[in-house]
Chains A and B, each alone.
Chain A
Amino acid sequence: MTLEQWLPVFALMISLAASLVIFALPETGYVRRTSVNLGAAVLKLVVVIVMVWGVFHGVNYGVSFTMLPGVTFVLRADALSMMFAGLSAVLWLLTTIYAVGYLEDSPNRRRFFGFFSLCVASTMGIALAGNLFTFFLFYEMLTLSTYPLVVHRGTEKALRAGRTYLIYTLTGGAVLLFAIAWLHSLAGDLSFRDGGHFVDADPDIHRSLILIFILLVAGLGVKAALFPLHGWLPQAMVAPAPVSALLHAVAVVKAGAFGIVRVVYDVYGVEASSALGLLAPLSWLAAFTILYASTRALWQVDLKRRLAFSTISQVSYIILGIALAGPLAAVGGLVHLLHQGIMKITLFFCAGNYAETLGIHRIDEMDGAGQRMPGTSVAFTIGAFGMIGAPPLAGFITKWVMGSGALAVNMDWVILVLVGSSLLNAAYFLPIVHRLWFREVKGAWPEERHWGRLETSPWLFWPPLLTAVVTVVIGVLASLPFSPLSWAELIVLREYAP
């Protein structure tokens, strides 16, 4: 066993250690805490980049040990895990920068950053887990570490939202555990494997396999906010903006979606799940969620709540993409894991900027904010257009690839869903963009604050602009190697030709 194989463990340990150090530092150790946090985030990014390079060249990273009789704990890196790990590492760095500015002068920052790092460590574990058991360990750890973040403000509303969040996620976790345990007693300790394990499963266990699949998707669907399990997400908006950003872009909802991808690809296998007749209903559910949540978003007057419903809709693209059971559609779904993350975090950063700088929370208060905060508003506009799917932004790539993929497997109805969803996206984003740029300022802002030369604090100003630039770049340069699109193609290639 070489040192190189331990890289996944290092990647996980960096965030975990950062969290422990932050808890150990005093509340007032502002500079030390920030340097530990940023240092760890940069270090982790380097480790992840090294692993991405290695996985591309076919290196196997991974360690495992027996945790319980018959159960192994496996951490390892494959192409799919690196996609999620890379997203998590990049966004951890950006969100940490943002959160440092956002929480300036507020109490309980030690608790916040400690659990924040713990939450990122959990997403890392989810990304690198090598079997369902290990995945579940980190999946539940994620639930626990995000609860203190959701209730961070300590208000009655936050505490209520935290309660709803727990009821949903812990119940989902219990269902998931039951399904994993059942699958384990049926088929033993299954490590994730390209192509899955059940291609030629014994017909006697087909019924059980179908039931287990339904339970797995139900358990994971809570975090992925699949209809009708999405109720917790809009309520959780009460959390501070960096938390919402992270929850939506990479941590919680993505963990659910990523889990479903793992189940379909690496546990059951696309072929087997499709042969068992499981993927078609899943694609209908995902399509319905896309349209339903977009419609609900139209009626939201609170900016963050509108973004929340947009997330519910967008995450289902990932599930739709893989449920179509064609390679090209799968590329579209997987690439959205990254694209949606980058675009959605941009939008949430911007929403946080409006709230922190001008005190704006509702959409009807946003009139003319583009003049006061041009940088933030440019970023917001790019993010919004990306979500709508305007070329050449990231969102367009997703929709284009997925549409072609749907046609390739003769699922023409998906085109209608994509078009309908794009229209709905436009219907709920364009009015905001219109208000930003083309309406006159109504009067004084609700709670305006000033920071020298820039329109807002530099900690808050740069992260959304950077992610907006990335949104453009990964759209324009989608065909270059190591772009999200090429990486998604690599994953699908390995899945379909194991």
Chain B
Amino acid sequence: MTLWLMAGLLFTPLAWAVLTLLTDFVWGRRVTWVGILVQVFVSLGLWLTVAQNGGFYYDLGGWGAPLGIELRVDGLAVTFVLLTAAVASACGLHAGVYIDRHKSWHRYFWPLFWFLWSGLNAVWLGGDLFNLYVGLELISLSAVGLVALGGNANALRASIRYLLAALLGSLAYLLGVALIYGQFGTLSIAGVVLWLDSHSASAGPGLALALMVTGLALKTALFPLHRWLPPAHGIAKSPVSALLSALVVKASFYIAARLWLAFGESLGNQAAAQAVGFMGSAAVIWGSWLACKQVQLKQVVAYSSVAQIGYLFLLFPLTYSVSDSISLQAQQGITLQVISHALAKAAMFLAAGNLILSVGSSRVDALAGVSRFLPFSLFSFGLAGVSLMSLPPSGGFAAKWLLLQASLGSGQWWWALVLLAGGLLSAAYLFRIYRASFAEIPETDQFFHPSKSLEVIPMVLALMALGLGFVSEQVLSVMALPFAEEGAP
């Protein structure tokens, strides 16, 4: 059973990718519908398996550590697998209607979409450094391709920039992996942890961790390495922007977080943890500030991603040399932030795409009258905004609450101020958009009304982000499940 589920998660997306490579846009869409159905069921199946029996290690094809493909199937990983299934299917379904099928190069959307999905699953489940690298590259390359799908010079420029940043990040990461391998002779994260437990750390592995985290921070667009993100996310097609902001940046962050939680205590130091937290805070403030300044709707949302990513890096200071209960609170808070941001940001990009389609302009000030004539799309956008502003009862609020508790509990109250200031700044840039839409300028309805299916998808995602606050306890409890260590190397 487990074999089938694992194969379904990692290899069937590749099969869908190859299939859609051979077809035109319309057939690619049909294949994708079937594929989405299969992937959702498989993801749900794995999640249920873990929710019932707890997590486990899985050696793919019998090739275990130190060199083989080792998968770590725990509560966190399956939660992200399920999240990916939800967000990616929403984006895939939306894209099928949204993307113009008459442009010949648009058919490549489908294979790239499926490569991306399989890369994401590989990262969530990866247990060794090298296979994480493979998943990461798969994600980066297909994401760059998806950005380039825009087809014009600006899209190409943005995607080349993205490619360079991603490659540089990968190189730094790979260098770190090589150093670790040279030092410990294993690529398995659990194996390195075992070794670190019994030996005192030397300078080499510390450098390796720094290199890997820096490379991953570049891929996650942590301030001040964020410059590549807004052009890429802003110019891509809306479903692509949604995928990139919701999932792709989370993959590199996820690896960084796993590395930090595994090695941080022995290889990191207080100054580094605080520095990363400080950069995250700067991202929150600076990203929000720039979001307030943008005239293009999607640029506002893209800069908002820069800011929201900043929160994630508060994980570093809030889990370093603090008590276990506070560290757990911080991890839970960050996890909720990842989930709620993924849902809300995907909803927001899709809704923004609908709004742009309707008003025929991508400028914020073109939204006048939208509240009167296109309330539904605006409502999805607004509900997603509630989560991004981390107002109750959204998942964003639950995340903020846990992070507040963690920062106050560990005496690092300055992060609490960042969290509150970030919430207010996000209200500043989001209400600017609502404000524009409430202006009563056009007297008549001159807007294009997109089809219902386009409008419903962001609404569903936004409602999930909003309702997450009420089920946070249940979501988090899956992550706290026991983990069977017997498979460990």
Contacts and interface: CB of A to CB of B under 8 A. Distances in A.
Contact of B435 (A71, A110, A163): A163
Nearest to B328: A69
A2 interface: no
B416 A178 contact: yes
B416 A181 contact: yes
A174 B423 CA distance: 8
Contacts of B439: 154, 156, 159
Contact of A144 (B386, B405, B420): B386
Contacts of B431: 147, 163, 166
Nearest to B472: A68
B472 A67 contact: yes
A477 B170 CA distance: 79
Contacts of B408: 181-182, 185
Contacts of A133: 401
A171 interface: yes
Nearest to B403: A181
A69 B476 contact: yes
A108 B469 CA distance: 30
B404 interface: yes
Contacts of A148: 371, 438
A140 B391 contact: yes
Identify which of A69, A71, A108, A171 gathers the most chain B CB atoms within 10 Å of its CB: A69
A108 B370 CA distance: 11
Contacts of A36: none
A67 B371 contact: no
B392 A185 contact: no
A156 B404 CA distance: 37
B473 A68 contact: yes
Given A107-B372, A166-B431, A170-B427, A68 B398 contact: yes
B307 interface: no
Contact of A137 (B375, B393, B409, B473): B393
Interface in B417-435: 420-421, 423-424, 427, 431, 434-435
Contact of A111 (B375, B400, B420): B375
Given A66-B473, A148-B438, A181-B416, A137 B392 contact: yes
Identify which of A68, A144, A171, A174 gathers the most chain B CB atoms within 10 Å of its CB: A68
Contact of A178 (B329, B420, B427, B440): B420
A151 B435 contact: yes
B239 to A, nearest CB: 26
Contacts of B375: 23, 110-111
Nearest to B436: A159
Contact of B405 (A170, A171, A184): A184
Given A68-B472, A184-B405, A155 B420 contact: no
B195 interface: no
A171 B417 CA distance: 12
A388 B473 CA distance: 51
Contacts of A181: 401, 404-405, 408, 416
Contacts of B332: 69
Contact of B473 (A67, A147, A156, A170): A67
Interface in A36-83: 66-71, 73
Interface in B370-397: 371-372, 375, 379, 386, 391-393, 397
A319 B379 CA distance: 37
Nearest to A153: B440
Nearest to B474: A66
For the side of the interface on B, what is the size category? 35 or more
Interface in A174-192: 174-175, 177-178, 181-182, 184-185
A162 B424 CA distance: 15
A78 to B, nearest CB: 22
B416 to A, nearest CB: 6
Contacts of A151: 435, 438
B470 A67 contact: yes
Nearest to B336: A68
B456 to A, nearest CB: 13
A171 B416 contact: no
A69 B372 contact: no
A126 to B, nearest CB: 12
B392 A140 contact: yes
A166 B431 CA distance: 9
A415 interface: no
A177 B398 CA distance: 12
Contacts of B472: 67-68
A153 B404 CA distance: 38
Interface in B273-307: none
B420 A174 contact: yes
Interface in B249-263: none
A154 B424 contact: no
A68 B402 contact: yes
Nearest to B402: A68
A178 B404 contact: yes
A184 B431 CA distance: 30
A111 B332 CA distance: 37
Identify which of B372, B379, B401, B435 gathers the most chain A CB atoms within 10 Å of its CB: B401
B150 to A, nearest CB: 34
Contacts of A173: 391
Contacts of A141: 391-393
Contacts of A71: 401
A111 B371 contact: yes
Contact of A67 (B398, B400, B420): B398
A162 B435 contact: yes
Given A181-B405, A182-B408, A67 B423 contact: no
B327 to A, nearest CB: 13
A136 interface: yes
B469 A67 contact: yes
Nearest to A107: B372
A166 B379 CA distance: 18
Nearest to A139: B392
Interface in A128-159: 133, 136-137, 140-141, 143-144, 147-148, 151, 153-156, 159
A24 to B, nearest CB: 10
B386 A154 contact: no
Interface in A316-338: none
Contacts of B404: 177-178, 181
Contacts of A175: 420
Contacts of A174: 420-421, 423-424
Interface in A409-465: none
Given A67-B470, A67-B472, A140-B391, A154 B427 contact: no
A83 to B, nearest CB: 24
Identify which of B391, B438, B440, B476 gathers the most chain A CB atoms within 10 Å of its CB: B438
A175 B386 CA distance: 18
Contacts of A171: 424
A108 B427 contact: no
Contacts of B473: 66-69
Contacts of A70: 405
A137 B398 CA distance: 11
Contacts of B470: 67, 73
Given A144-B391, A170-B427, A159 B371 contact: no
Contacts of B438: 148, 151, 154, 159, 162
Given A67-B469, A137-B393, A174-B424, A154 B440 contact: yes
Given A23-B375, A148-B371, A163-B435, 15 more contacts: A67-B469, A67-B473, A68-B401, A68-B472, A147-B431, A154-B371, A154-B440, A156-B439, A162-B438, A166-B427, A166-B431, A170-B427, A178-B420, A181-B401, A181-B405
30 contacts: A23-B375, A68-B401, A68-B472, A69-B329, A69-B402, A110-B375, A111-B372, A136-B392, A137-B397, A141-B391, A143-B391, A144-B386, A147-B431, A147-B434, A154-B371, A155-B440, A162-B438, A163-B435, A166-B431, A170-B424, A174-B420, A174-B423, A174-B424, A175-B420, A177-B404, A178-B416, A178-B420, A181-B408, A181-B416, A182-B408
Closest 8 CB pairs of A and B: A154-B440, A137-B392, A181-B404, A185-B408, A174-B420, A151-B438, A140-B391, A66-B473
